[in-house]
């Protein structure tokens, strides 16, 4: 790792000032950034640690509105009793990320700001129609995720929370790479008052996306059987050493079926 | 360089460290606590697991400076003098180690796991919770056995402690 200057921010305002230093990067759980720095794929001059800022932590549920602070760890999301009642699918998703030690450190804000094409949270936030709150503005999820490791965040902009309306039904099914535990295909289905939405992670050439084919089939009937024979086009899917685009296309339909069955259970 | 101050195994330690120093290197090289191992160095194997503020984390994926003000427990902090911690004793009893390289991380993960499941553990839970710890001797069977046994011993110990408090 190259030399770096570490700063611990006490507030979002202080972090916003500190991140203007040199080529600074924001540090939350560090589960991606620190490995990237160790391999010298990332070499920030400064790190601004957000993980001790109290305002960025915790899950709030008020009626149907769920708000999760950006520095809330996967572990805290997974075990939150209020969330497990309001949107158990999201708590379950958090429990599938990495391993226990990674979940103790990694945060929801860090995950979405990084926007790894195989990360779990982007699928949930896109399917839930969530809003990403920053220190500058509110960004709808479908405007936030821009492509591989790309988001709508501007230089120095800090994610403070995510917010969404709890859906009537939702579930997440993930086909994991057994070594990395990242999704080869992950499908989040949500049925709310605006209809059914289905978001896919791990598979898209351009990162997380909504599957129109599966949404159309489920709009008729929110039932696993309505996905029989539904084909997902492989053209815009990734092919790599883990799986071909065709294999991923098939997996998307399979995971979507399982997710709908779980949501209806 | 930053000045850090933290509690490691009950002892206040500190000093100036380079900001890029990983927690695992601070523990091993600055403090001489070589029980915490570096296995893969890519946050996969879990040989470096320690507890920071009561939670199991991978010390190869954290900067020492991030833990300033925190409480850290390493494998050296578990035993009570010559008396092994119940989990260490269970690993010994059930042959939960072969070459021993992964053992400190396995035991720190097991301690965290048992603490988080006071209701008790079953084999499926133990295996799922061990996914961040790799044993290249592939001795998982006895590791799982040891953790299940320790979980039972510790539950009995806690029940006794409560009975004593009530009395």
Residue B37 clears pLDDT 80, i.e. is over it: yes
Q: Which of these, A216, A34, A56, lies nearest to A114 by C-alpha position? A: A34
The partner residue sitting opposite A6, judged by closest CB among B19, B109, B131, is B19
Question: N- to C-terminal Cα distance for chain A?
Answer: 48
Measured CA to CA, the distance from residue B68 to residue A46 in angstroms comes to: 17
CATH fold of the domain at A58-165: 3.30.465
Architecture of the domain made up of A169-264: 2-Layer Sandwich (3.30)
List beta partners, residue A191.
A169, A196
| CB contact B57 to A (< 8 Å) | yes
* CB A135, CB A256: distance < 8 Å: no
> Of the CATH numbers 3.40.50.720, 3.20.20.140, 3.40.30.10, 3.30.43.10, which one belongs to the domain with range A5-49?
3.30.43.10
Answer whether CATH 3.10.20.30 is correct for domain B2-77.
yes
Q: Which CATH class is domain B86-162?
A: mainly alpha
Give Rg (Cα) of chain A. 18
Say if the Cβ atoms of B58 and A102 lie within 8 Å: yes
Per the CB < 8 Å rule, is A2 touching B20?
yes
DSSP letter string, B11-72: EEEEEEE-TT-BHHHIIIIIS--TTS--SSSSSSS-TTEEEETTEEEEGGGSBGGGGTT-EE
Q: Where in chain A are all domains bearing CATH 3.30.390.50?
A: 169-264
Nearest to B19 among A4, A35, A100 (CB): A4
Return the residue in B16, B39, B43 with the most chain A beta carbons within 10 A, the one to mutate for interface testing.
Answer: B43
Residues 204 through 243 of chain A touching chain B, CB cutoff 8 Å: none
pLDDT at B160 over 90: no
Q: What is the pLDDT of residues A115-125, one digit of tens each?
A: 999 999 999 99
ipTM of this predicted complex? 0.94
Task: Give pLDDT tens digits for A255-264.
Answer: 999 999 999 9
> Could you tell me the residue ranges of all domains in chain B?
2-77, 86-162
Whether B20 and A35 lie within 8 Å, measured CB to CB = no
pLDDT digits (tens, 9 = 90+) for B10-19: 999 999 999 9
Which residue reads 């997902």 in tokens?
A232
Q: Which residue among B18, B57, B68 places its CB closest to the CB of A101?
A: B57
Q: What is the pTM of this model?
A: 0.95
> Would an 8 Å CB–CB cutoff place A31 in contact with chain B?
yes
B92 Cα to chain A: minimum distance (Å) = 24
Residue B163 has pLDDT above 70, yes or no: no
Q: How far is B43 from A72, CA to CA, in rounded Å?
A: 20
């Amino acid at each position: 790792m190259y030399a770096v200057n570490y700063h611990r921010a006490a507030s979002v305002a202080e972090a916003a000032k500190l991140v203007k230093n040199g080529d600074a990067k924001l540090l939350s759980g560090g589960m991606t950034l620190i490995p990237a720095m160790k391999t010298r794929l990332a070499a920030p001059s400064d790190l601004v640690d957000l993980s001790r800022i109290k305002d960025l932590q915790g899950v709030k549920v008020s009626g149907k509105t769920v708000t999760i602070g950006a520095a809330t760890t996967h572990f805290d999301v997974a075990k939150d009793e209020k969330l497990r009642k309001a949107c158990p699918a999201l708590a379950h998703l958090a429990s599938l990320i990495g391993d226990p030690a990674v979940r103790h450190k990694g945060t929801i804000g860090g995950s979405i700001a990084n926007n790894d094409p195989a990360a779990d949270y982007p699928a949930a936030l896109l399917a839930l129609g969530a809003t990403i709150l920053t220190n500058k503005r509110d960004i709808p999820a479908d405007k936030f995720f821009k492509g591989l490791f790309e988001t709508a965040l501007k230089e120095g902009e800090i994610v403070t929370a995510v917010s969404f309306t709890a859906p009537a039904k939702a579930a997440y099914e993930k086909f994991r790479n057994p070594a990395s535990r990242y999704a080869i295909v992950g499908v989040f289905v949500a049925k709310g008052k605006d209809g059914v939405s289905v978001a896919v992670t791990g598979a898209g050439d351009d990162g997380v996306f909504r599957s129109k084919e599966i949404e159309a089939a489920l709009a008729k009937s929110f039932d696993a059987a309505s996905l029989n024979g539904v084909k997902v086009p492989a053209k815009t899917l990734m092919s790599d050493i883990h799986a071909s685009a065709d294999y991923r296309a098939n997996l998307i339909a399979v995971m979507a079926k399982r997710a709908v069955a779980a949501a209806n259970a | 360089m930053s000045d850090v101050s933290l509690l490691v195994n009950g002892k206040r330690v500190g000093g100036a460290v380079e900001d890029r120093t990983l927690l695992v290197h601070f523990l091993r090289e600055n403090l001489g606590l070589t029980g915490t191992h570096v296995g893969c160095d890519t946050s996969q194997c879990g040989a470096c697991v320690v507890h920071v503020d009561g939670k199991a984390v991978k010390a190869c994926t954290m900067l020492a400076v991030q833990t300033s003000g925190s409480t850290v427990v390493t494998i050296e902090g578990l035993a009570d003098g010559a008396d092994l911690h119940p989990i260490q004793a269970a690993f010994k009893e059930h042959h939960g180690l072969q070459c021993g390289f992964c053992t400190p991380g396995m035991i720190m993960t097991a301690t965290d796991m048992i603490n988080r499941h006071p209701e008790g553990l079953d084999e499926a839970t133990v295996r799922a919770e061990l996914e961040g710890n790799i044993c290249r001797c592939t001795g998982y069977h006895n590791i799982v056995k040891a953790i299940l046994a320790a979980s039972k011993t510790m539950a009995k110990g806690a029940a006794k402690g409560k009975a004593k408090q009530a009395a």
